[in-house]
Amino acid sequence: MAFEAFFLPASAGQRLALFHAPQASEKPHGAVVYVHPFAEELNKSRHMAALQARAMAAAGYAVLQIDLLGCGDSSGDFGDATWEDWLADVALACDWLQRRTAAPLWLWGQRTGCLLAIEAANRMERPVNLLFWQPVVSGKQFLQRFLRLKIAAEMLGGDGKGMMERMRSQLRRGEAAEIAGYLLSSTLAGSLENAELMLSHRSCRVEWIEISSKSDGGLSPVAVARLSQWQAAGHHVRGISVNGPAFWQTVEITECPALLEASIMAMSGIEST
């Protein structure tokens, strides 16, 4: 299925974008902007994101994928990017897509991309639907795990003792830290640490999908608690779990076919069986 690849002009440089035109109907069912995950999780997820974008287009959705500042083939270095830069990129992608179609807007986030998507949605004047893939609920906890990648590498070299505190001190002094080949700025680290998955009244729907390696695996306790909280507040939210590999962290590039089908069904409002 053909797609349009182009560079979207931004305030700083340009962003690589891939547009998948809706195939199944003349009037799109929705306009979808993909908000990708953090660092190496982005690279591990590209294949699944491409498969899902094509599936969405085949089902009648207009889909725009964008590499955020300093990521992939977009302008800038990862170490120079800020959370506000990335939020501006999400808004830029939404503006571009909304000029192409008046269909209902969806932000499709994966992992930390869900944190960006929900904050971007909270800032928008119009209602936004949200599709979450394995969302990160706490940026603070994610940052902690990301920093541990450095500790693991240093421990292999016999120098892991006290590494976490040294990195924390380095970031508090405003210095960048190199983690798993990515230069993490103190500004981005601070913003990520403060990010939480909090829903505002402006969002219309939330479709939360988690991936479990167990065939009978359900939603995580964290997901159940957050969804229950939102439902009690009157939000239209649903959550499901599908069986498959954690493709964003596997050594080899892997697929999760059940996730592709579940996402289309969730966006269409169809109850999974």
Which of 170, 194, 218 represents a domain boundary (last residue)? 194
Tens-place pLDDT, residues 80-92? 999 999 999 999 9
**Residue 216 pLDDT > 80:** no
pTM of this structure: 0.94
**Residue 19 pLDDT > 90:** yes
**Residue 25 pLDDT > 80:** no
Round to whole Å and give the CA distance between 191 and 187.
6
Residue 231: Cβ-neighbour burial (10 angstroms; 0-12, 13-18, 19+): middle
In this structure, the answer to whether residues 114 and 144 fall within a common structural domain is no
The separation between CA 227 and the C-alpha centre of its own chain, rounded to angstroms, equals 18
Domain span holding position 97: 4-137+204-268
Round to whole Å and give the CA distance between 39 and 45.
11
pLDDT the model gives residue 8: 97
Which of 147, 169, 194 represents a domain boundary (last residue)? 194
* Tokens 């009037």 sit on residue: 27
Does residue 39 lie within any of the structural domains? Answer: yes
How open is the CA angle 69-152-162, to the nearest 5 degrees?
A: 100
Mean pLDDT is lowest, of 44-48, 88-92, 120-124, 163-167, for 163-167
pLDDT the model gives residue 165: 82
Round to whole Å and give the CA distance between 163 and 177.
11
In this structure, the answer to whether residues 74 and 181 fall within a common structural domain is no
Question: Other C-beta atoms within 10 Å of 10: how many?
Answer: 19
Does residue 151 lie within any of the structural domains? Answer: yes
DSSP state of 161: T
129-153 b/e (C-beta count within 10 Å ≥ 16 → b): bbbbbbbbbebeebbeebbbebbee
**Residue 207 pLDDT > 80:** yes
Q: How confident is the model at residue 159 (pLDDT cuts 50, 70, 90)?
A: low
Closest CA to 125 of 97, 84, 91: 91
The single-letter code of the amino acid at 89 is D
In this structure, the answer to whether residues 220 and 162 fall within a common structural domain is no
In this structure, the answer to whether residues 44 and 83 fall within a common structural domain is yes
In this structure, the answer to whether residues 33 and 153 fall within a common structural domain is no
In this structure, the answer to whether residues 122 and 17 fall within a common structural domain is yes
Which of 149, 168, 194 represents a domain boundary (last residue)? 194
Does residue 190 lie within any of the structural domains? Answer: yes
* Tokens 């699944």 sit on residue: 48
pLDDT the model gives residue 56: 97
Mean pLDDT is lowest, of 64-78, 109-123, 188-202, 253-267, for 188-202
Tokens at 83, concatenated: 């959370």
**Residue 253 pLDDT > 90:** yes
Tens-place pLDDT, residues 59-85? 999 999 999 999 999 999 999 999 999
Does residue 199 lie within any of the structural domains? Answer: no
DSSP state of 105: E
Round to whole Å and give the CA distance between 235 and 2.
36
CATH code at 17? 3.40.50.1820
Closest CA to 65 of 103, 102, 21, 129: 21
Better-scored residue on pLDDT, 39 or 272: 39
**Residue 158 pLDDT > 70:** no
In this structure, the answer to whether residues 94 and 108 fall within a common structural domain is yes
In this structure, the answer to whether residues 123 and 15 fall within a common structural domain is yes
Does residue 171 lie within any of the structural domains? Answer: yes
In this structure, the answer to whether residues 43 and 130 fall within a common structural domain is yes
Tens-place pLDDT, residues 127-147? 899 999 999 999 999 999 999
Does residue 231 lie within any of the structural domains? Answer: yes
In this structure, the answer to whether residues 109 and 56 fall within a common structural domain is yes
Which whole number is the average pLDDT over 177-204? 91
Which whole number is the average pLDDT over 154-183? 81
Q: How confident is the model at residue 152 (pLDDT cuts 50, 70, 90)?
A: confident
Does residue 273 lie within any of the structural domains? Answer: no
In this structure, the answer to whether residues 93 and 153 fall within a common structural domain is no
pLDDT the model gives residue 155: 63
Indicate the number of domains in the chain: 2
Which whole number is the average pLDDT over 161-188? 90
In this structure, the answer to whether residues 238 and 174 fall within a common structural domain is no
